[in-house]
Amino acid sequence: MARIGNHRWALVLLPAAGILGCSYYSTPETECRSDGDCASMGDNWYCEQAAGTCRCRPACTGRCCGDDGCGGTCPDGCASGEVCKADTCLCEQSGVCTPGEARCDGDVARVCEADGWTDVQDCEQSGQVCLQGSCQAKSCTTREDCAGPVCLTCRSGKCVEPPEVCRGNQDCCVNMYCSFGACMFEGPGCQDDNDCAAIDPEYPVCRDGVCVHECEDDLECPVGAVCVDFHCMAPGCTPQSCDHEVGYGYYCDMDSGECLPGCDSNDDCISPETCDYESHECSHGDCCSGICDPENEYCESLTCLCVAMCTSGSDCPTGFDCDTGSGRCLCTEASCPAGTHCDETSGSCVPDQTGECEIDEDCPEGEICDLFSLTCRRSGSGTDGDPCYTDGECDQAEGYYCDSSLFCIGCMLTDPNFAPTYTCRAECSMFLDECPNNYQCLYRHSGMIFLCIPDALLP
């Protein structure tokens, strides 16, 4: 047993594989399953679900000195031209303020005008508190309660600044969502139009750092073009009319108003290919959002997970062959899960096309049409037992991941009979009894993520 910082790590023997591994172990006095388990430690303590331990969040919002509530002192974060007043622990302008600038003096919201600082509102009189120059609710139950001119989210019943790394949409303020640990604007963030075209063709124009629709009406389009479904185009066709009247695999050429062979969305391509929106050609893309290490990993297109490159067949799941030239595990017909087949061109398992649907309207409410497989599936809302191939199909904000890590080497080492169920399952801690009766907490997902798996599905 070793201690690192405030945590202890244990050397654990994994008997199924006869190997050793490191496992996180929290001290008994800080173990938790919800924020309520940490309430006795102070107002600033919360439960970090992933580690199962209590953590303290310094209470330094709007303060530049004094006790941070966690046994430390708030840092002097005053901007250039400001000084920290020791009696109030507030940043004060050392010179003339900038008109329009806002700040808090205690719970009084103030704004800078031509002749200096002016009181705008005493937040305490309306039952609120002043944060970053505006009045905000003292308590909250959802992030919507904290909506306002300042980016805040709800944590332990209080409106606070978002954490540096988000674990779900609830960690981001209103009109933002969590993407790989970072809060992004709905209508993805950008620096120029090229960023938007690469992220989502539905929001192709970069305006004030946010990707937005190309147009809302005809007045925003060039002379002679019209605004159709938020896109400027010549009269004659739309992306939808090309899909429905001609078929998938065609795009609407805005100059001629004609449907031409090519793509204007990933729906026009066959997985694992994606659409190049500049050339309107389908090509092999990366559904892992480019986060894989190109020197040691590649993106597995069925599950959209980063997979370690192989050097021999022993590095691949049963039924897969290692292409030592590319470092990829290539499928065979016998190796792909039910509902998929082996694509000889890419060497990846791809969904079968069943013809169940062609458009979202063909599917039940709450489901969308997966145009790669032509099957109806839930999108981002899957819970325990719902079918999935990728984590994005499960409700990750509620702690669900897809049990689909076919290439999880650690999973195979700890369980020789490891076989994904391709269903959404709840994350769990191997040190806390979190799973329901008749479930087991097992290492089932890349990244050392443990999931609750029903006994009935285990050999």
Please give the tally of structural domains in the chain.
4
The residue out of 41, 56, 71 marking a domain boundary is 56
Q: In 174-199, which positions are buried (b, 16+ CB within 10 angstroms) versus exposed (e)? A: bebbbeeeebbbebbbbeeeeebbbb
Asked if residue 59 lies in contact with residue 46, where contact means CB atoms within 8 angstroms, the answer is no
Question: Do residues 107 and 38 both lie within one domain?
Answer: no
Say if 358 falls within a structural domain.
no
- pLDDT value at position 267? 66
Q: Do residues 42 and 123 both lie within one domain?
A: no
Assess if residue 370 is contained within a domain: no
pTM for this predicted structure: 0.37
Indicate if the pLDDT at residue 99 is higher than 50: yes
In a domain, 272, yes or no: no
pLDDT > 70: percent of the chain? 75
Domain that holds residue 145: 82-175
pLDDT tens sequence across 121-167: 888 787 777 777 777 776 787 888 877 766 788 887 778 888 877 87
pLDDT above 70 for 272: no
If asked whether residues 317 and 400 sit together in one domain, one would say no
Pick the more confident residue, 16 or 436.
436
- 100 and 157 belong to one structural domain: yes
Instruction: Report the alpha-carbon distance of residue 148 to residue 114 in Å, rounded.
Output: 25
Is residue 236 one of the residues assigned to a domain? no
**Segment 88-95 long-range contacts (CB within 8 Å, at least 24 positions apart):** 89/63, 89/64, 89/65, 90/62, 90/63, 90/64, 91/64, 93/117
- Last residue of some domain: 146, 175, 204? 175
Domain boundary among 310, 336, 351: 351
Asked, for residue 360, whether it belongs to a domain, the answer is no
332 domain residue, yes or no: yes
Residue 229 lies in a domain: no
Answer yes or no: do 35 and 109 share one domain.
no
Assess whether 92 and 144 both reside in one domain: yes
